[in-house]
Structure 1
Amino acid sequence: MAVSGVLCVDKPSGLTSHDVVLSVRRRLGIRRIGHAGTLDPAATGVLVLCVGDSTRLVEYLSADEKAYVGTMLFGVGTDTDDAEGRVTATADATKLTLSEIEPALTAFRGHICQRIPSYSAVHIGGKRAYELARADIRVDLPTRWVDIFEFTVDGLHMMQDDTVALSFYVRCSKGTYIRSLCRDLGEALGVPAHLTTLRRVQSGCIRLDECVPLDTLLESDNPVDYLRRPVDCLSNMPQVAVTVAVAEALSKGQHVDWPTDGPELAPETVALATCDGNLVAVVEAVFAANPDGFDALQGRTRMRPMKVFWKEVG
């Protein structure tokens, strides 16, 4: 039987997310592995890997909100907006207080527009932003809208050279640059700032305490024992239990009626169809008009299979 499932890894510092994928590919002897949500090399914490047929679920796993803890340093700005970059600005930050910082956080909560870091993988005119930055080519950096659900701070510490370190917690939507939050908060306070440490503590429903350290995984005699069922890692998505007969119909691409005891979902909602705890398919709730007339109120909700997994697990 083909190996498939989700690995929840505690990524160490110093490796890119792709480095982690390569090392796990070598250890498992499986090429079909991808990650759901990149972490910068210096960052640590939750990195979700999809193995085998579960790679088809990356878009759903990566779409989940993320949570981070970290530290930022006021008084120094860098070209990468983190500790890996070249210093571009300095200032005395010793007069900053929590009573001054906390009100400034209000502008960075909710639906906000971010300017991406100069050193990022975003494409600009056919090239990566970091390629242009390394070539000292100045461009207008694109912006993106993100959601910051929580942004709290504590632990303000005076450091050497007139700098101040601040601990923070952020819960946000996918695509959020924490480096940009640190940089922009500094700008709002009139002091250059950059990200110094970052640890992802949650990705969707997957918490850090559920993750296996990368070294432990690679040194294990049976690393596949750490594989988790996709349905357990997508508990934030609606789920509907179906019978074997319905599972077989979905596996053939057929639309089937929504179970009467299933959750009530609006049309176009994406859900997981399961059978005996196994993933059958990713389905979309669609509205089917009454075949005996044109009265929409007499229609019914059906399941349209989008990605089928039943053949692999059934």
Structure 2
Amino acid sequence: MNIKGIHHVSALTADAKKNYQFYTNVMGMRLVKKTVNQDSPSMYHLFYADEYGNPGTDLTFFEIPNAGHTYPGTHSISTTSLRVPNDKSLLYWKERLQRHGITSQPIKEIDGIKTLSFQDPEGQRLMFASDENNQGVEPGKAWRKSTVPKEHGIIGLGPVHLTVAEADPTVEVLVDLLGFRKVGDYGSTQIFESGKGGLGAQVHVEERPDLNREKPGRGSVHHVAFRVQDEEELEKWRQMIQKAGFLNSGIVDRYYFKSLYFREKNHILFELATDGPGFATDEEPEHLGETLALPPFLKDKRSEIESVLEPLDTKR
């Protein structure tokens, strides 16, 4: 029973086309799967990741057209981190973001790791984290066809930041239920990690009793998923989570991985997801994300689904 690290983070966008242009052209990430929200197939679900969509590298977006603004606050996944190779990469990214009209904060050191914070055009709160002094969960591989030089490309997800009014209930779930361990703190934020540790396995919990509860919209995060080895282990987690008294989804087959969802005590949605079978299940590795991929149980509804989706050209 071992949480291996962060699996993916899923956020909200109001415009799939603009989202695709930003995350592929500006951020240089690879779209590894263009599919739909399996629980609401009338909306896109886009997966951006490393070269082959390795677990621990996926930043995904549900499209909700006309979604309102996010009003930041507690009970939230407040920042998503993206790993880059080294400190020099932060200087590259600061200049690149500026060229594309994106304002960033000064480079800042957090617990010995240099970081660069910024927001995407919809207000998604993001932070680059340098892998230069990092040890632990291995990074992914930057996409070789990226618009960003490989030596500075995004190589995975870094720490996920949670903002809560009271930290103890969330900490209890992370430590006592999921097996995370505390490894540090800064200001009002505590650092926890799992598995091999390092940036790819960290959750930062910030306590902010002075803030109101977040009102989510475009630019907010829906959930964070943590890695488990396989379905057998996922079932053991289901039993443990059930025994601890948490309502949960049961095991859900997402086709590219199996999942289990539950809300921790501050109502942030956690997912546990298996490492496999992966995104090459229904597409050739060289052509990931180029066509609309549907899981088997939705394939007979393709015409109906495509009729309500605005076309999104992702062929490269």
Report the TM-score, using the length of structure 1 for normalisation.
0.24
Report the TM-score, using the length of structure 2 for normalisation.
0.24
Query: Comparing both chains, which one has the higher relative contact order based on Cα–Cα distances under 8 Å and sequence gaps of 6 or more?
Result: 2
